[in-house]
Amino acid sequence: MAVTSSLWTGVLLVAVLYAVMLYNGLVEVKHAVSKHWANIDVLLKQRYDELPKLIETCKQYQQFEASTLQRVTQARAQALDARLRQDVPALGQAEAALRTGLGQVFAVVERYPELHANESFQTLMSRITALENAIADRRELYNEAVNINNVRIEKFPDLVLARAFKFGPQSLLDFTDAEKADVDVKALFS
């Protein structure tokens, strides 16, 4: 009887330890998603802070197209709002509009050689381009963390604990094919 009791105690202890390991793993992937989102958030904030400087530099050239700058300003506001609400799908759409607007600004700049040669503009353009590249890298890491989270909460036996402790799926930061397409610079000049 004592052997059976200690056997059951051992089995129960192993089961509890296994459940704890599963739970801790789920917590780890949940926080990885949050960490990667925070990394994207920092870069987005930096880029949003740089955009008004870029727009002001462009406005110094009075003939610069106001409608182009207005589209970038509106897209920035929408993206900032989605970022603050942590609405990942809305952020993806707003970021696509912002990217298109920036492409239009850079295309229009080609018509203004003195602006294109402006040191402030060049610095801002380089900074924003570097931020765009960093955001793309961080988005890839974020989406990988989301994928790991979403797979873990659907796999047995993790899904039992995930449901019990309300671990939920996360949204990928995704863009449609149209949003990922290169900006058609030729069309911008038409």
Q: Given a cut of 60, is residue 187 above it in pLDDT?
A: no
More reliable by pLDDT, 50 or 1: 50
More reliable by pLDDT, 145 or 112: 145
Are the beta carbons of 91 and 83 closer than 8 angstroms?
Answer: yes
Q: Given a cut of 50, is residue 184 above it in pLDDT?
A: no
Percentage of the chain modeled with pLDDT above 90: 33
More reliable by pLDDT, 30 or 187: 30
pLDDT band at residue 138 using 50, 70 and 90 as cut-offs: very high
**Mean model confidence pLDDT for the chain:** 84
**Closest by alpha carbon to 139, among 92, 101, 97, 103?**
92
Q: Given a cut of 90, is residue 36 above it in pLDDT?
A: yes
| pLDDT value, residue 186 | 44
pLDDT band at residue 21 using 50, 70 and 90 as cut-offs: very high
Q: Given a cut of 90, is residue 151 above it in pLDDT?
A: yes
What spatial distance separates the first Cα and last Cα of the chain, rounded to whole Å?
Answer: 89
Q: Burial code of 1-40, b = ≥16 C-beta within 10 A, e = fewer?
A: eeeeeeeeeeeeeeeeeeeeebbeebeebbebbeebbebb
**79-121 pLDDT per residue, tens:** 889 888 888 888 888 888 888 888 888 887 877 778 777 888 8
pTM higher than 0.75: no
Q: Given a cut of 90, is residue 53 above it in pLDDT?
A: no
Mean pLDDT of 183-190: 42
Homologous superfamily assigned to 23-188: LemA-like domain (1.20.1440.20)
Percentage of the chain modeled with pLDDT above 70: 88
